[in-house]
Amino acid sequence: MSETKKRVRVRIEGLVQGVFYRASTRRQAAVLGVYGTVRNLPDGAVEAVMEGDAGAVDRLLDWCHVGPAGADVTAVRAVDEPYRGEFTDFRVIG
């Protein structure tokens, strides 16, 4: 039986730009088999859209609370969205 699929849009706040947060998120997503995108926002936050097996998405979401060395995450806001299956990889888009 296959695991339930999940999609979540995540806003990560704190010191998350200029610390390789996006590249580290992409690497972590590849390890976990999660697809989606990650980008910097003009206000200094990072936004990610993640899709995949629910357990893998949850593990990536947990990782987002810490991020890479040098990051100082102060808030993570996640909103579940309907699963679309629109991604074939995980990309840094901005």
The closest alpha carbon to 61, from 72, 73, 76, 75, belongs to 76
- Domain with residue 19: its CATH number is 3.30.70.100
Say if CB 61 and CB 12 are below 8 A apart: no
The CA R_g of the chain, rounded to the nearest whole Å, is 12
The answer to the question of residue 51 being in a domain is: yes
pLDDT at 94: 83
pLDDT at 1: 47
- Annotation marks residue 26 as catalytic: no
Say if CB 44 and CB 16 are below 8 A apart: yes
Q: Which residue among the candidates 22, 26, 39, 84 is catalytic per the annotation? A: 22
Instruction: With 0.85 as the threshold, say if the pTM is over it.
Output: yes
pLDDT at 3: 78
The rounded distance, in Å, linking the Cα atoms of 94 and 69 is: 21
- Annotation marks residue 22 as catalytic: yes
Q: Which domain holds residue 39?
A: 5-83
The answer to the question of residue 34 being in a domain is: yes
Phi, psi of 81 (to 5 degrees): -130, 160
DSSP code, position 66: T
Q: Which residue among the candidates 9, 11, 40, 91 is catalytic per the annotation? A: 40
Q: Are strands 5-15 and 46-53 parallel, antiparallel or unpaired?
A: antiparallel
pLDDT at 2: 59
The answer to the question of residue 92 being in a domain is: no
Which residues of the chain fall below pLDDT 70? 1-2
